[in-house]
Chains A and B, each alone.
Chain A
Amino acid sequence: MLTVDPQDKAKLINPLFVATPRFWIAASALSAIVAWGLFMYARQLILGLGETGMNRPTYWGVYMVNFIFFIGISHAGTLISAILRVTGAEWRRPITRVAEAITAFALVVGSLQIIIDMGRPDRLIFVILYGRIQSPILWDVISVTTYFLGSITYLYLPLIPDAAILRDNCPPNAPVWQRLLYTVLAIGWRGTREQWIRLEKAIAFMAVFIIPVAVSVHTIISWILATTVQPGWHSSIFGPYFVVGAIFSGIGALFIAMTAVRKVLGLENYIAERQYRNLGLLFVTMNAIWAYFTYAEQLSIAAGQQLEEFPILASKLWGEFAPTFWVMVVLMIVAFWILLVPKLLPASLESVPFFRRRYALASGGAAAITLFLINTPQPSLLNVLITSLTGVAVTDAAAQTLGWILLIVFIIGIGLGVSPWLKARPVTASVIASACVVVGMWLERWNIILPTMTHPRLIFESIYQPTFTELSLTAASLALFALMFLVFFKLFPAVSIWEVAEGRVIEEAKSKITIPAPAPSEEAKQLRRWGIKKG
């Protein structure tokens, strides 16, 4: 009979047996969107892929962007659970379950995108019947499947002791099916010493095993693009670039998910500032590395100026993909700023006038006005304004340059004004930055796939407009992801109970200064009695 600390029980176990109206409303809303998606998919299946915006030569569109996006997000779990476990970072403990759940569900939804993308999904079996080992698509199927099975295992193994705890700690009025679920999943776990040792070994093995698998997954996905000769795709940097981008977007998704869980379930004691701070540092580092890779990529194309390659870069810098490209760049810079600058500024700066919110607002207004003025057609209002203010006649080009410089100054003003406010709210800041990053990374996938598809090597250019079907199915995919997440965390504790209890024991043992933490749980006492050491 496994017992658990009363605070853990209150926060982590009891909510699993109470289905609040809030839960039902959320579940119904998400299910409705998913049902809508199913309907649209059935429609697409019957009426054909003409319902989407895809054509020749743009045969990969929003679905492929979603595919890469979701598989990218799935790298969250591996990074947090496996790499941090292998390097012995104790702060990962409260967030491993959320991370692993994201991985599993993102993989499911991501793989669904491929099926949705196919006009004849029954042909999926051809990969097995007529597979060619030299095809990157076959490697992709193999690696994603391996990763999926590995992730499920890696999600399940640490779940076993928790399932056993739940089995033993069900309230008396718990439904039979729920108790049965936990009993089955706990596969007779008793918490004996031998069982713990074996479980630890298994988890450690999976952690080391799953890291190269995860790296291979996103590398191989990138090679589906890079092994073609399409301009903009045929670049050797794609392998590492995609892996870095995946980890980056994964951390963003993890921030959002763990904040949601923390807010809804009231887990402030478990998912605390330490997690946000350390994850934030990783996030900033990945942002910088991603920016480095992006810059290296684009600079190569810019310097090469090759006939087919350069139009793609041009379309991103000032062509039809300029809005998506520059929005992505701005979002990433904003995220970087939000994550880094509040850390660097001392809190006392709030007293300096320029660093207050009202000045940020004023700067924002000025920036908006400047942006408007820059984009007015010639003869520009900006020119007139400058001439009247300074009495110096300027050309339109010079006025434009000045306008852009002022815009940047004002935007920096916004950034500085908001920084002390962000510094006081690390959780909010992280979520804002993560939202920017997640959207930005979706745009980044778009910017990789679509410009090349619309400016291919041999065929003429084309235009791609996503249709309502594609947008519905994207919304439905996101809803499906959220729904799976919601249901999973209604049935299982959001924080891994035994890992957190273990962490408390280790911390108390290591530090010589007493932490005002809850008394160690029964389980932790049991572990100590058996002298099981971790870390």
Chain B
Amino acid sequence: MEQIVSLISAFFTEPGPGGIFVLLVISLAGAVYFILIRWILQGDESGLPIPSKMLKSYRQLSSRR
């Protein structure tokens, strides 16, 4: 437990750990974007055409009132 507390206080006071923060943030963003782009491109033909899909969901919304 002490190690964790001292680790956290070191993160905030010593030079060095802050840089890890930068790298973590950028890498996390990179990973997320990679996965998202791949997911987008994996969309296939089975989806319905957009107009009636939009209308269908709109109809569902309006009937739920």
Contacts and interface: CB of A to CB of B under 8 A. Distances in A.
B2 interface: yes
B2 A395 contact: yes
B1 interface: yes
B62 interface: yes
Contacts of A392: 1
B5 A401 contact: yes
A286 to B, nearest CB: 26
Contacts of A513: 62
B1 A398 contact: yes
Contacts of B5: 397-398, 401
Contacts of B4: 398
A402 interface: yes
Interface residues of A, number: 8
A395 B62 contact: no
Interface residues of B, number: 5
A3 to B, nearest CB: 29
A397 B2 CA distance: 9
Nearest to B59: A513
B25 to A, nearest CB: 19
A29 to B, nearest CB: 39
A394 interface: yes
B62 A398 contact: no
A401 B4 CA distance: 10
A162 to B, nearest CB: 28
B1 A394 contact: yes
Interface string B13-25: 0000000000000
Contacts of A397: 5
B1 to A, nearest CB: 4
A387 to B, nearest CB: 10
A402 B62 contact: no
A402 B4 CA distance: 11
A395 B1 CA distance: 8
A394 B4 CA distance: 11
A401 B2 CA distance: 11
Interface of B: 1-2, 4-5, 62
Interface of A: 392, 394-395, 397-398, 401-402, 513
6 contacts: A392-B1, A394-B2, A395-B2, A398-B1, A398-B5, A401-B5
